[in-house]
Structure 1
C-alpha cells in the first residue's frame, strides 16, 4: 500500500494556545505577519486574542479583514494586492474557515499570479508566496490542517476546490476557548461538517491506515459531544472535544479525501449562498443512504464508533442505524432543508442539472463508495428537497 501523509509542521492544541502566536512566529523565524480575518472578528473584539500577544512581543502587524463567508476570488485578489503592498513574511488566518481559506488562496495567487480559476483541481497548487499560520475560531472546517481551500469563482457561480501543498498551513493553533461565543446554529453546522469530513474520509476510495486512525478518533469525539455542545454552549469539555475532533477530521480528509456530500454541497453554496457546513448537513443523510450497501462494513464501523450503533450490532444493522441516526441528528440540531432555508423551489429545480455537472467536475464524487452519474445526483438533490418538507 502506497500513500502520502501531509500535515502542518507544528500543531498547538489546548485552551489558551492562541497566546503563543508570537512564540510560534519566532519558531519559524517570522516577524512581519498580515492577519487575515473578517469584520465580525474585528467588531466583536475576538481578534484581539491574536493581536495582543503580537503587540506585546513587539511584532509589527497589519490586518486584512475584508473576507466574506464562503470565500470569493475577488476578495482573494484584493488581499493579494494588500500583501504585495506591504513587507510581510507570513499570513495568519484568524477566524472560521473563510478567513483561513482566503489566506491560503492569497498565498497561492500571490505566488503564481493569474486568476484563482487557474488553480482549481486537477491543477496541483504547490507553490505559495508566503507561509500561512492558521488559528480557527470554529470547530468545523478542519482547514487549519488541510491541503485544500475552496474559493467561489464569482463570474461562474462555481465553488472551486484548490488542492496542493501551498494550501497546507505551516502551523496551526487550535484553541477551543475561541469557540465559546459561537452561536448554536454555527456550532451545529460546523459540527456536522466535521463529522462529514471524518465519515467521508473513512469510506473514501482513497482511505488509508493513517486517515482511518484520524477519522475514527474524530467520529468518536464528535459523536459523543455534538448534541451536548449544541445544548450547552458553555460546556468546556464539549467545546474542547469538538475542537479536537474537527482538527482530527481535517487531518483525516486531507490525507484521504472527501466524497459525494462535498461534491454536491459546493454548488448549493455557490448558487444559493448556503453556509458550507449547513449544506453538508442537508445532504448527509440522503447521500449516506445512497452509498450504504457499497461500503457497509465501513459505515457500520463508523456507526459503532460514533455511538449510533452498539458494539454487537451486525454490519447490516449498524449501517442502517447510521443512516437513520443521521436523520435524527439533523432533527435534534434543527437543521433546515433547502425549502426551510428559504430557497425557491423553481430556482432549485432549474439549477439541478448545472449543480450535478459542477459536482462531478469537482472530482469528489469519484471518491465515493458508490460513484454516481449526473442523473443520480439530480435525483439525490430532489430527494434532499423532498425530505426537508416537514423538517422542524
Structure 2
C-alpha cells in the first residue's frame, strides 16, 4: 500500500524577486500568470522570459477549448521550463503545458494519448486554497460532456512548488475566504477518505487546525487581520494539498463540478455550497466511523459544547466570514437537479470512490434539491 508520495521539492521565498534570482529565470522560460500579478510583481524585474496571460483567453475556469488554443499558440516557442504563477486555473493548465505533443485536451483527459512530460514545471500558488502545487491532478471542463473531469498521472507533478507570502498577502477578501475554505474542504474530505492513512491524516489534521484557528482570529480581529497571518494559510493549503493529493477528495468536489462548469462558478465558491450538506449526510448515515474523530477534532478546535451539532457550528463559523448562496442564485434551473445528479453519477466515479460512505443516486439528488 502506497502511504505517501511527495514529489515536488517545496521551497519558500519571501519575495518573488528572490525566486527569480535563485532560479535564473531566462528566455527559455514560459511564465503563465495574470496581468495584475505581472504589473504588480514582475514587470519591474525586466525578465527575458516569455509570458502568457490569463485575461488573453478570458480564462475563469480551465476548459478544453482554451487549453487547446494555448497549446497551439506556444507550440513554436523553445520552452525549457513552465512557471505557473497564479490560482488553480493557471496551475491546472500549466501542468498540461509541461507535457509533450498533446493532441487535444479531451483526448488527453480520456487517456487516449501517450502522456510524456517534456518541460520542467515550477508552480507558485497565489491563493490560499488550491494545494495543486503538490498534486499530480489537473481539472478541466470538457465542453462536450458539460462537466469537469480530472486527470491524475505522475507526469503532472511539478518539479518545484514555491511558496511566496508576498504574492497572497493582498489577495481580495472574498478570494481569500473561498480559496481557504477550499483548502479546508481538501483537508476534511481527504481525512475521511477510504485512502487516508496515518501520514495523510497528519497533514489533514494540521491543516484543519491552522485554518479554523486562523478564521477565529479573523472574526475576532477583523478582515484585514488575515494579512498578518497569511503565511499560516499558505502553509495550511500546502498541507491540505499533500493530503488530498494522496488520499483524494470526494462528493463535495464531485457535486460542485456540474455547477462550476455550467455557470462558471469559481472552484472554491462552488465547493462551499455543498460542503456542510454533504458532511451532514455522511454523519447521519454513519456517525461512528472515521467521521467521529473528525467531529471531535472540530469540536476541540472550535471549542464547542459536546452536545452541539458540530456541522451547524461550523456552518455558523463560515457564515461569519462569508454568506453561502442558494444554487438557484447562480442561475441553476430546477430541472438541472436531475441533470446534475446524472452527470455526477456518469462522470465523477473517480471522486465518488473517495466518499466516506457510499451515496446513492437518490441521496445525491436530495443534496442538490435541498441546496437549490
The TM-score with structure 2 as length reference comes to 0.88
Q: Verify: 1:281 aligned to 2:248, yes or no.
A: no
Alpha-carbon distance between aligned partners in 2 of 1:344 and 1:288, rounded to the nearest angstrom:
22
The residue that corresponds to 2:367 in the other structure is 380
Q: Distance in 1 between matches of 2:338 and 2:206?
A: 40
Distance (Å, rounded) in 1 between the aligned partners of 2:136 and 2:228:
28
Instruction: Give the secondary structure class of the aligned counterpart of 2:91.
Output: helix
After superposition, the Cα gap between the structure-2 partners of 1:309 and 1:247, relative to the gap in structure 1 and judged at 3 Å, is closer
Residue-pair matches, total: 366
The Cα shift of 1:157 comes to 1.9
Q: Give 5+ residue unaligned stretches, structure 1.
A: 386-392
Task: Determine whether 1:72 maps to 2:68.
Answer: no
1:178 pairs, out of 167, 171, 194, with 167
Rounded to whole Å, the distance in 2 between the matches of 1:303 and 1:96 is: 30
CA deviation after TM superposition for structure 1 residue 301, in Å: 3.2
Contact 1:268 1:355 in 2 (8 A): no
2:180 corresponds in structure 1 to 191
Q: Distance in 2 between matches of 1:223 and 1:18?
A: 31
More moved, 188-197 vs 151-160: 151-160
Residues 107-146 of structure 1 aligned to structure 2 (within 5 Å): 107-108=98-99, 111-120=100-109, 127-146=116-135
Paired position in structure 2 for 1:32: 28
- Tell me the alpha carbon deviations over residues 190-241 of structure 1, each in whole angstroms, 9 at most, x when there is no partner: 1110000000111001101221111111111001113545742354442111
Contact 2:194/2:356 (<8 A) preserved? yes
Matched residue, 2:348:
361
Change over 3 Å in CA distance of 1:122–1:218 after alignment to 2: farther
Q: Which moved more, 1:209-218 or 1:120-129?
A: 120-129
1:343 is matched with which residue? 331
Matched, 1:299 2:291: yes
Change (3 A) 1:107 1:330: same
Cα deviation, 1:307-340, whole Å, max 9, x if unaligned, reads 56678976xx58x41x212321332122332347
Local SS of the residue matching 1:35: strand
Q: Distance in 1 between matches of 2:286 and 2:12?
A: 36
SS for the counterpart of 2:106 is: helix
Instruction: Report the alpha carbon displacement of residue 149 of structure 1 after superposing the two structures with TM.
Output: 0.9
> How far apart, in 1, do the equivalents of 2:339 and 2:40 lie?
38
Could you tell me whether the CA contact under 8 Å between 1:35 and 1:64 is conserved in 2?
Answer: yes
Q: CA deviation at 1:354?
A: 3.5
Counterpart-to-counterpart distance in 2, 1:117 and 1:324 = 40
User: Over aligned residue pairs, what C-alpha RMSD do you find?
Assistant: 2.8
Contact conserved, 1:18 with 1:173, CA < 8 A, in 2? no
CA-CA distance at 1:381 after TM superposition:
0.7
Take 1:312 and 1:281, find their aligned partners in 2: how far apart are those partners? 22
- Tell whether 2:315 aligns with 1:324: no
User: Which deviates more, 125-134 or 270-279?
Assistant: 125-134
Residue 253 in structure 1 maps to residue 244 in structure 2 = yes
Higher alpha-carbon deviation: 133-142 or 292-301? 292-301
SS at match of 1:355: helix
In structure 2, what is the equivalent of residue 23 of structure 1? 22
Shift of 1:14: 5.1
- Structure-2 change in CA distance of 1:344 and 1:265 (3 Å): closer
CA 1:336 to 1:9, structure 2 compared with 1: closer, same or farther past 3 Å? closer
* DSSP 3-state at the match of 1:91: strand
Shift, 1:119, TM fit:
3.1
Q: TM-score, normalised by structure 1?
A: 0.84
Paired with 1:138 and 1:183, the residues of 2 have a C-alpha distance of 10
CA contact (8 A) 1:125 1:166 kept: no
Structure 1 residues 63-117: Cα deviation after superposition (integer angstroms, max 9, x where no partner): 0113512111122122222332111101000111111111012223xx2422222
Partner SS, residue 334 of structure 2: helix
Contact 2:16/2:167 (8 A) holds in 1: no
